[in-house]
Structure 1
């Protein structure tokens, strides 16, 4: 699956009653910003390489965490990461993220499932972690 065909396919698609607003992000690498209906506050950023389709949502920046809560936040992230379906937690530069990866041969249905699940998981995580933030 390539970026252009994904834009065209997702623009008219629905999955579990959800729709997708797809916008290319300008930059060196082809990245899409995808807003899943019902989860507008957690856009998913998607890029496709030869080896994977990577989807991620930016949760918050490191400077938004109460310094005294950093160790507890990390412990909580480690505990939550295993039972969270189709998603993992990480850090990109100073941004905490939730992400998922798929095979580049994944079907459109599998990509849509990942997008919906990731966007919903991001909302749940933001609520879970709000006590750690300033």
Structure 2
């Protein structure tokens, strides 16, 4: 599976009553920005490599965190990450992210399930962490 086939597959697809708005992101590596209906404010960025399909959502920047709340935020992230379905928390440069990965041989249905779950998890996480942000 590659980004081109995903653009074609997701363009007309529906999964769990959700649709997908797919836009390629300009750059050296093929990346897709995917808005899942009902979670448009948390677009999922997807890239495909030989070893994985990586999906991630940018939650907030480090500069948005109240300095005094940083240790408590990190503790909360560690506790939440384990039971959260199909997703994990991380940091890319100065952005906190929620991400998930799949095998490059995953089916289109599995990719759509990951996209829906990740977008919904991102919304839940933003609500959970709002007290830590300025």
**TM-score, length-scaled by structure 2:** 1.00
Q: How does 1:78-97 map to 2 (within 5 A)?
A: 78-97=78-97
d(CA) in 2 for partners of 1:4 and 1:127?
33
- Kindly tell me the number of residue pairs found equivalent between the two proteins: 134
Provide structure 1 residue ranges, at least 5 long, that are not aligned to the other structure.
none
Report the 3-state secondary structure (helix = DSSP H, G, I; strand = E; otherwise coil) of the residue aligned with 2:90: strand
Residue of structure 1 in register with 2:101 after alignment: 101
- 1:9 and 1:117 map into 2 onto residues whose CA distance is 18
Within 5 Å, give how 1:53-72 maps onto structure 2.
Answer: 53-72=53-72
Partner of 2:10: 10
Q: Runs of 4 or more off by more than 2 Å in structure 1?
A: none
**TM-score, length-scaled by structure 1:** 1.00
**Is the counterpart of residue 124 in structure 1 residue 124 in structure 2?**
yes
Separation in structure 2 between the aligned mates of residue 113 and residue 38 of structure 1, nearest angstrom = 14
Match of 2:27 in 1: 27
Unaligned runs of 5+ in 2: none
1:45, CA displacement in angstroms?
A: 0.0
Cα RMSD, aligned residues only: 0.2
TM-superposed CA distance for 1:2, in Å, is 1.0
Question: Quick one: distance in 1 between partners of 2:39 and 2:69?
Answer: 27
Aligned equivalents of 1:2, 1:78: Cα separation in 2: 32
Q: Over residues 51-73 of structure 1, what are the superposed CA-to-partner deviations in whole Å (9 max), with x where a residue is unaligned?
A: 00000000000000000000000
